A and B are shown apart, each in its own frame.
Chain A
Amino acid sequence: METMEPILAAHPFCKGLEPRYLKLILACASRETFTPGRFLCRDNEEARKFYLIHHGRVAVEIYRARRGALTIQTIGEGEVLGWLWFDQPYHWHLDARALDLTRVISLDVQCLLNKCNQDHDFGYELMRRYAHYLAVQFRVTKVQLADFYGD
């Protein structure tokens, strides 16, 4: 726990968070390492974890029958994986595979949801950050759909 706190505090998702809220998140957190090629999540699996990446890179993929996996995004240090953990049906919709040795702090979704329900101020703060990341993700997706390099 002692070594995880500074990593968590420095991660952009948690930056500036009140210490008491950081402690609530820490109670749901664990460290994980994924070797290259290992999946952090698979399509249709239950979304039990929300990942804060602090080292390495992850490919987010869609699997296409007969054509294999298509990478639609890569995410790295300071970014998060698992946007839909806050919303039902709490299932992954994509595959995510480590490209490099990847170290993450994984947050137990059920544990986080319980804490949000017990402390609505904490829930609001988490939702505010979640909404920001969702808005950024939405903007990036729109730009990607615009066929950036098309003319």
Chain B
Amino acid sequence: MTANLPDPMIPTPFVVQKVKRETSDTYTLDLTRADGATNFAFAPGQFNMLYAFGAGEAPISISGDPGRTGTLVHTVRDVGNVTRAICRLKKGEMLGVRGPFGVPWPVDRVAGEDVLMIAGGLGLAPLRPALYHLLNHRGEFGNIEVIYGARTPKDLLYPKELELWRGRFDLRVHVTVDSAENNWHSNVGVVTKIIARARFDPPSTVALICGPGVMMRFTVLELMSQGLTPSQIYVSMERNMKCGIGLCGHCQWGPFFVCKDGPVFRYDRIKDWFDRREV
């Protein structure tokens, strides 16, 4: 998983090419390698450790197209010192990158299946590369349904891209928010309510979920009530990753190291740990 870089503990310098403000506290950064190389391959769902010089490292999912290896894209929410430093970077400034790390979404193993992608809040960022992959190989999959929820319309990531996806005939995109002013013409309500409207054949479906814990918990319950089994459901877990290669133990979650065994887990493997409050 670290074939691009000689030593997984040494950051590679990258240059910020573009910073785009997504919401009030979330930014998308386009990065290119400082040495000009254009071969940063990754699999959808993997993450990098981004190093803001002088501030520290933070694990951030890759949110770009895996088919475009020249530009590395990360969507970062300003929630602490390191992420704030990353979000304040300007075009031309540099940061360090270690990775890619972790187990990806199983997009190369689910050909022929209907795919449900269910994202909440910032959870669309780690799922976006999987969607790019599905669209790049559209003929290999059945129905693709994207269900995305956020607090308000202002909190939605990638609104222009959502509009483009909604305009496609080979993909159904459902966007919902918890509340909205009356100029909002899409859904209002939780993502779990939208699942019943999605078109999928339960025995031939795989569900990919990414979002806050409470959202994923209720979404799993709803999917199982719709006929999916735990082995058809994948979730992306968030934990305090540090080394990225399963050595330091910061991200230990029961018998797993989220950085190495995850962040994407098949639900049947982790269901005994999913709801435990003490870990």
Spell out A's residues near B (CB within 8 Å).
57, 59-61, 68-74, 76, 97, 99, 140, 143-144, 146-151
Residues of B within 8 A of A69 (CB): 181-182
Q: A140-B193, A143-B190 are in contact. Are A71 and B214 (CB under 8 A)?
A: no
**B187 interfacial contact with A, CB 8 Å:** yes
B-side interface residues toward A, CB under 8 Å? 120-121, 149-151, 155, 176, 178-182, 184-193, 197, 211-215, 218
Interface hub of A68, A70, A74 (most chain B Cβ within 10 A)? A74
Closest to A77 in B: B197
A23–B103 CA distance with the chains assembled, in angstroms = 57
**Bound-state Cα–Cα, A70 to B151, Å:** 13
Whether A143 lies near B151 (C-beta < 8 A) is no
- Asked if A140 and B189 sit within 8 Å, CB to CB, the answer is yes
18 A-B Cβ contacts within 8 A? A59-B188, A70-B179, A71-B180, A74-B187, A74-B188, A74-B189, A76-B197, A99-B185, A140-B190, A143-B190, A143-B218, A148-B178, A149-B149, A149-B150, A149-B178, A149-B211, A149-B215, A150-B212
Are A72 and B181 in touch, CB under 8 angstroms? no
Once the chains bind, are A144 and B178 in contact (CB under 8 Å)? yes
Chain A residues with CB under 8 A of B215: 148-149
Q: How far is the CB of A63 from chain B (nearest CB, A)?
A: 10
What's the least CB distance linking B57 to chain A, in Å? 21
Check A68 against B182 for contact (C-beta < 8 Å): yes
Given the known A-B contacts A74-B187, A140-B190, A146-B214, are A59 and B120 also in contact in the complex, defined by CB atoms under 8 Å?
Answer: no
In chain B, what residue has the closest Cβ to A36? B185
A150 touches B151 (CB 8 A): yes
User: Which A residues are in CB contact (< 8 Å) with B185?
Assistant: 99
